[in-house]
Amino acid sequence: MGRPGAFQPFRVPKEEAGVTSACAASAGSPWRCIVPDRRAVDRHLWEIVAVRDLFWILGILLFGWIGYVLQSILTPILLGLGFAYLFNPLITHMHRRWGVPRLLTISLLIVLLVLLLGATLVWIGPIFSNQLMALIDKIPHYVTTLATHYKVDLGSLFPQMADVTVTIKKDPMSILGPLFTGTGQAFGLLGTVIGSTLNVTLVLVLVPIFFILFALDFESLTSRMMMFIPLASRPRVTNMLERMDHAVSGFFRGRLLVGLITAAMYSFGWALADVPYWSLLGIATGVLTIIPYASAVGWPLAVMLKYLDVLASPDSGSGWLAIVVWPSVTYLAVQFVESWILTPWIQSQSLDLSATTVMIVVLIGGAVGGFFGLLLAIPITVCMKILLEEYVLSH
């Protein structure tokens, strides 16, 4: 025994690998050598697991905060990267299968998307615009009709309602003010996408540019990123990233296609049911299909708009069958086709999230990140779930 406070060595068994020492053990001894306890000696701070995990958490939070502060600048960059990610399988397939240059495929995609957008605007744009202006113009009439029918004194119940009604009559476009202001509201679509410092023209110019830059070099970019992963961890990380890619890409590509199809189905069905503003309502409900369970708002809106139209036109002769049943039949029929045909066929993979989890994360995402939060809440949750399964629950 040494003197008190002196350095005490400890013995290391032969079976313990990875420990070397200059000292030698005697033949037949169960101990290889005597080495000093260096567990707390010459160790860097980042070699401590708890400290390293804390650094990772702080780094992720800092990265998220920087992204939130610079969201107006990062918006066109992220949109370009997102489009490159969505279309990369098609671009790569065309290049590997038929030898089509990536730049040619990208150019054809941009031209095709512009033509489709232009044709849609020419075909649906006038109908959509006319119905939107008609709805804005009739809102004061609807409010007055409801108040008269149910004998409600708007002046005493809502003192400011009269002023709002007069304002809408004088300036119908004033009702769209909240839609174009405030980037923190979940459904302030334009304000969220464009931000407070970029205008529409700049974004429309920058997004295709970043899309071309990212799409041209997407494969080599991902390969270079894999080089930063240690060789020992590369198989596990590659498997985890493939799972994330399978879930996220399937979600976005599948939901976008399902949203386009259901938008056409909603519009056609509500037009047959003689629901007013069927184009406006059908397109909006189809777009909301991208966000899980968000399209449910289209059902009561269709019934309410039909009811208001009948109430404002008492000579129409429509009864409760036309007000409630036919708009509801349209919505339920499209929901059946979406749930049992389109989603299993187009979006075959499951996100493996319960309905309660989906609703909670969508609400949290909308409150925190606006429209982008609503759109990205599910993919981010799926990626976090995969990370937990790989690095936490596996231990």
φ/ψ of 26, rounded to 5, equals -75, 155
Per-residue model confidence as pLDDT tens digits over 52-70:
778 878 887 888 788 778 7
In terms of residue numbers, what domain contains 25? 1-41
Same-domain check for residues 220 and 325: no
- Is 52 inside a domain boundary? no
Give me the pLDDT at residue 169, please: 54
Residue 58: inside a domain, yes or no? no
Helical axes 102-149 vs 298-312, angle rounded to 10°: 50
Question: Do 384 and 340 share a structural domain?
Answer: yes
- Say yes or no: 172 and 111 in one domain: yes
d(CA 83, CA 80) in angstroms, rounded, equals: 5
Distance CA 229, CA 222 (A): 12
Residue 239 lies in a domain: no
For 231, 232, 256, 383, 387, the CA distances from 228, given in Å and listed in that order, are: 9, 12, 33, 20, 18
Task: Indicate whether 141 belongs to any domain.
Answer: yes
Whether 66 is in a domain gets the answer no
Regions of the chain with pLDDT less than 70: 1-47, 49, 153-201, 314-318, 347-351, 394-395
Q: Are residues 103 and 199 located together in one domain of the fold?
A: yes
- Taken as a whole, the chain contains a residue count of 395
How far is 320 from 67, CA to CA, in rounded Å?
51
Indicate whether 278 and 350 sit together in one domain.
Answer: yes
If asked whether residues 208 and 325 sit together in one domain, one would say no
Same-domain pairing of 13 and 82: no
Q: Judge if 223 and 282 occupy the same domain.
A: no
User: Quick check: is 356 in a domain?
Assistant: yes
The answer to the question of residue 234 being in a domain is no
Residue 191 vs residues 85, 177, 362, 366: alpha-carbon distances, Å: 24, 11, 19, 14
Question: Both 253 and 379 in a single domain?
Answer: yes
Q: Is the domain of 140 the same as that of 251?
A: no
pLDDT of residue 127: 85
Q: Does 220 lie in the same domain as 77?
A: yes
Query: Residue 160: what residue type?
Result: Q
Q: What does the alpha-carbon distance between residue 390 and residue 387 come to, in Å, rounded to a whole number?
A: 5
Query: Are 256 and 375 contacting, i.e. CB atoms less than 8 angstroms apart?
Result: no
In this structure, the answer to whether residues 77 and 170 fall within a common structural domain is yes
Residue 169 included in any domain: yes
Separation of alpha carbons 298 and 279, rounded Å: 12
If one counts the domains in the chain, the total is 3
Structure confidence by residue, pLDDT tens digits, 92-128: 999 998 999 999 999 999 999 889 888 888 888 888 8
Strand-pair partners of 11: 34
